[in-house]
Amino acid sequence: MSALLEVNNLSKSFPVQTGLFGRDKRRVHAVSDVSFELAEGETLGLVGESGCGKSTLGRAVLRLIEPSAGSVRFAGQDVTAMGSRELRALRRHMQIVFQDPYSSLNPRMSVRETVGEALRIHKLATSRSDEDAQVAALLVQVGLRAEHMNRFPHEFSGGQRQRIGIARALAVRPRLIVCDEPVSALDVSVQAQIVNLLKDLSEQLGLSYLFIAHDLSVVEFMSQRVAVMYLGRIVELAPASALYARPRHPYTRALLSAVPELVPGARKKRLKLVGDIPSPLDPPTGCAFHPRCPDAQLGRCDRERPELRVVDDAHQAACHFA
């Protein structure tokens, strides 16, 4: 499969004022030197603890926030070098589904206006009646009814609002959708419905997803490959089957050990991490994970930062002992 999306050495940092009266100016490195590829029709899962930089990475890929360094190429075009007019045209092919389906919808706009807005901006409808027909078809495609188009966001449940957000993303016929924690704000009973909908749409339309989540079970179901982030860096990247069967990074092993076992009576050893995630304002030297790592060796892990490297076939890990 050819690469639809190529991310090379992408970084994003934010200025922060600390100290008395904010005199100290420092930078938070939310994303540091991240590289990966996403093929046409592929779903890449992106997992990690809260605050690891997953959502920042997703927004930087789409240039919803400006990267500090690195490059993003979509279908061979350099997204990071584009002007606003070029980027606006490209946005038709790169869309996002946000975490909170309520705050991402304008409460003053009807569903028809919300979904139809993108059709008007990109001139994808030939007339008002054609726009209505397309909006109705999109609503049916995501599991709603055509007559819902005249309602407003507050008249829908959380799961229905997320379906509207998906319909809005689909309206411009994109090739890539960044799904930023699309089910974490929903009831558990509704999450499976939305995940199944996204998977069906991917298969029907040939969509590529960058699927950001913290639920490892959902990511396993959705993804062909999985990337694990820790403190702004990818520490493991592998086909989903290989990563779940034999994780090579101790952080990945700890995450997987916390996933509940669904087989009755089955038990697995829980790997408990000591301490909290270090502050991105003051990251540890060497391997960022070494203060919490059960396998860390002082003299190496606290001094040398391991690079993401191939350890077995298509399996990559950033660990000295992977």
Summarize pLDDT for 86-136 with one digit per residue, the tens: 998 998 999 999 988 888 899 999 999 999 998 998 999 999 999 999 999
Cα first-last separation, the chain: 27
Return the CA Rg of the chain.
21
Q: What is the pLDDT of residue 21?
A: 64
**DSSP label at residue 272:** P
Q: Is residue 262 pLDDT above 80, yes or no?
A: no
- What pLDDT shows up at residue 189? 85
**Model-wide pTM > 0.75:** yes
Q: So what's the pLDDT on residue 277?
A: 80
Give the domains, in start order, of the chain with CATH numbers.
41-65+82-223 (3.40.50.300)
Rounded to whole angstroms, the Cα distance separating 64 from 200 reads 27
Model confidence band, residue 20 (pLDDT cutoffs 50, 70, 90):
low
Number of neighbouring beta carbons within 10 Å of residue 206: 10
Tell me the pLDDT tens digit for each residue of 136-162.
999 999 999 999 999 999 999 999 999
Distance, in Å, from the CA atom of 276 to the CA atom of 22, rounded to the nearest integer, reads 25
Residue 47 near residue 210, CB atoms below 8 Å? no
pLDDT at position 26: 82
Q: What's the rounded Cα separation, in Å, for the pair 168 and 153?
A: 13
Structure tokens at 290: 């070494």
User: Is pLDDT of 261 > 70?
Assistant: no
Tens digit of pLDDT for each residue in 53-97?
A: 999 999 999 999 999 999 999 999 999 999 999 998 998 999 999
pLDDT band at residue 51 under the 50/70/90 scheme: confident
